[in-house]
Amino acid sequence: MRLPLAYVIEDDEVIAKIFSTAVREAQFETVIIRDGVEAMENLESSVPDLVILDLHLPGISGINILRLIRNDARFAKTKVLIASADATQSEFLRVQADEVLIKPIGFLKMRDIAVHYRPS
């Protein structure tokens, strides 16, 4: 059986590693993406089931990535979790995202949320 695919779009190396470990713990296949341009390239070739999205990214911002995902029918089933330190900006995107998490986000919390959004 193929594992569901999760993107961890996060420019901070350590945080990306923690999140991806937590998500893998929740039985996802994970891909760490470190900048916006790379994220766009990946989204062209594959459709993730879950996206852990940081907002402040080099290249293309998280907001633009979110917009692209929400405007493309290919990603109709994709769940997007915003994981950002910017509470104010995140608040504005609450409607478009499935979940908004404000950093710091613990390992176990991330794992539990990923479990919650696992496609059945």
Residues near another protein (CB under 8 A) are 12, 14-15, 18-19, 21-22, 25, 85-88, 102-108, 110
Of residues 71, 21, 1, 92, the one with CA closest to residue 10: 21
Structure tokens at 70: 């929400």
How near is the Cβ of 116 to another protein at its closest, in Å?
17
Structure tokens at 91: 């608040």
Of residues 36, 4, 16, 3, the one with CA closest to residue 103: 16
How near is the Cβ of 76 to another protein at its closest, in Å?
29
H/E run at residue 55:
none
How near is the Cβ of 49 to another protein at its closest, in Å?
22
**Residue (26 or 43) nearer to another protein, CB:** 26
How near is the Cβ of 89 to another protein at its closest, in Å?
10
8 Å CB contact between 53 and 32: no
SS3 state of residue 15:
helix
**Residue (40 or 85) nearer to another protein, CB:** 85
**Residue (30 or 78) nearer to another protein, CB:** 30
